[in-house]
Amino acid sequence: MPFTDSGGVFRSDTEAWKVDQLVVDLRYRTLVQQSLTELTGHTWRELDASPELGLVLCELPQLAAIEQALVDGYLTGVRRSREGHYDPADPIPALDLVLYALRTSFEEKYDGWSPPMAKNRLLDGVQGSPYTGGGRPDELHPAVHADLARLTAPGTGVHVGILDSKIVPHPDLEGRFLASAADIYTGTAPHPAPVGHATFVAGIILKHAPNAVLVMRSILDNRGVEVSSWAVAKAMVEFLKTDVRVINMSFGCTTHDNRPPTVLERAVQRLAPSIVLVAAAGNHGRPSQNRRGAGITEVTPVWPAACADVIAVGARDAEFSPKVPWVNVLADGLAVTSTYLSGEVETYERNLNGVVEVEDKQEFAGYATWSGTSFACAAVVGEIAARAAAQEISPRVAAELIVADAADEVLAELSL
């Protein structure tokens, strides 16, 4: 049964979003605001606007009153529109009623047209998909990280953006990344396991492309909990102001209607013409062991990986990697070893209600072994950067060549 948590987040087994926030196309901000007032007698409070995204984020502080004003005129209609898609016993969220009323009012006036508007959905952090298991101490595989050479010379290759957790200072990564103070982890043990995720990803990318320049942007807190699609999209378009030409996106979300979140899709559209976008496909290939929710199947699309302008990466020979046609490339994502935290680390389990609990504690010595499509994604990003530099071609051309080379393997995986 879906519910709203204490933080004002609606949660179901397939999606999560801010209950009182609305995202609207900037071109129609005044038009939609006027319609809301005409329908309900109330208005919104503008929280943020992004010219780069062409969107505005609004809050509905009087949501209860707005809902009450719409019940008589639109409740039957919105309930009818949900038939066959939602459990009829589930309560109808107030924001669904608001969106239905606004869209319907425009569609009735303008022959089916309505301005772009949507929810501010949440994307999973590294404790959800794409993620599986947990980092294991490198002592279990002492020889695996022997080829992770010390990389301390300034990079001269492709600039690669990483949207993830904060980066952990590590001797193998010294001088190899660009990050603000806000993007660098400075905590003390016991460390939360998710905060080592970006460091793990960085090590994989540099293993494949030692000359790459990593540009770090943290979008998750130290426990890797969910982040709003608005925050992620704004961080994505910030890369347009940099020299970044490839972005690693080891995060994702699902939606009940299996459509891409509007905010995330807009960011992809803005970036795709000039930056190669690579995302993890998710770890929901084994529904019986799925940590995301009972409504997720092995073929549920994960966003942004399933977006048309994104290269989706699955993990080779891994049961948890989904076998779906929107996966473009396969790479090693099973029992990968890379740079990580040092000292005592707490492994977390996030329940479906969003509560994060400590599951276990282990000692690490700067490396870990981890599985997930997050790390297959990083390997492909590294290969794109490496091939672009080695062949003196653009990252876009390098990415297209890698996708073409992977076609037969991906098709064989899909046919299993």
Q: What is the model's pLDDT at position 7?
A: 82
Domains and CATH numbers, the chain: 3-121 (no CATH), 132-415 (3.40.50.200)
pLDDT over threshold 60, residue 151: no
Least confident of 102-106, 113-117, 250-254: 250-254
pLDDT over threshold 50, residue 127: no
Complete DSSP assignment for 29-58:
HHHHHHHHHHHHS---EEEEEETTTTEEEE
Q: Which two tokens stand for residue 98?
A: 């608001």
What whole-number distance in Å separates Cα of residue 2 and Cα of residue 253?
16
Q: Which two tokens stand for residue 89?
A: 């016993």
Span 355-410, pLDDT tens digits: 556 667 889 999 999 999 999 999 999 999 999 999 999 999 999 999 999 999 99
Per-residue confidence at 289, pLDDT binned at 50, 70, 90?
low
Across the range 122-145, mean pLDDT stands at 53
- CB neighbours of residue 177 within 10 Å: 25
Task: Please answer whether residues 352 and 291 qualify as being in contact, where contact means their C-beta atoms are separated by less than 8 angstroms.
Answer: no
What angle in degrees, to the nearest 10, is found between the helix axes of 229-238 and 262-271?
Answer: 10
Alpha-helix residue ranges (DSSP H) falling in 122-257: 197-208, 229-238
pLDDT over threshold 50, residue 236: yes
Span 42-75, pLDDT tens digits: 999 999 999 999 999 999 999 999 999 999 999 9
Span 204-223, pLDDT tens digits: 999 999 999 999 999 977 76
Span 317-343, pLDDT tens digits: 999 999 999 999 999 999 999 999 999
- CB neighbours of residue 359 within 10 Å: 12
Q: What is the model's pLDDT at position 150?
A: 44
Handedness of CA 106, 111, 113, 118 (dihedral sign): positive
Sequence-distant (6+) residues with CB within 8 A of 355 are: none
Predicted TM-score of the model (pTM): 0.91
Q: Is 169 left (phi over 0), alpha (psi -120 to 50) or beta?
A: beta
Across the range 99-127, mean pLDDT stands at 90
Sequence-distant (6+) residues with CB within 8 A of 180 are: none
Task: Please answer whether residues 160 and 244 qualify as being in contact, where contact means their C-beta atoms are separated by less than 8 angstroms.
Answer: yes
Per-residue confidence at 140, pLDDT binned at 50, 70, 90?
very low
Proportion of the chain above pLDDT 90, given as a percent: 72
Which residue's entry shows tokens 């949440």? 122
Across the range 251-264, mean pLDDT stands at 92
Least confident of 3-7, 59-63, 104-108, 386-390: 3-7
Nearest Cα residue to 80 out of 92, 66, 65:
92
For residue 90, give the amino acid letter: D
Q: Which two tokens stand for residue 389?
A: 């530099």
For 61, the 3-state DSSP assignment is coil
Long-range contacts of 332-336 (CB under 8 A, 24+ apart): 332/375, 332/376, 332/379, 333/371, 333/372, 333/373, 333/374, 333/375, 333/376, 333/377, 333/379, 334/371, 335/141, 335/369, 335/370, 335/371, 336/204, 336/369, 336/370, 336/371, 336/375, 336/379
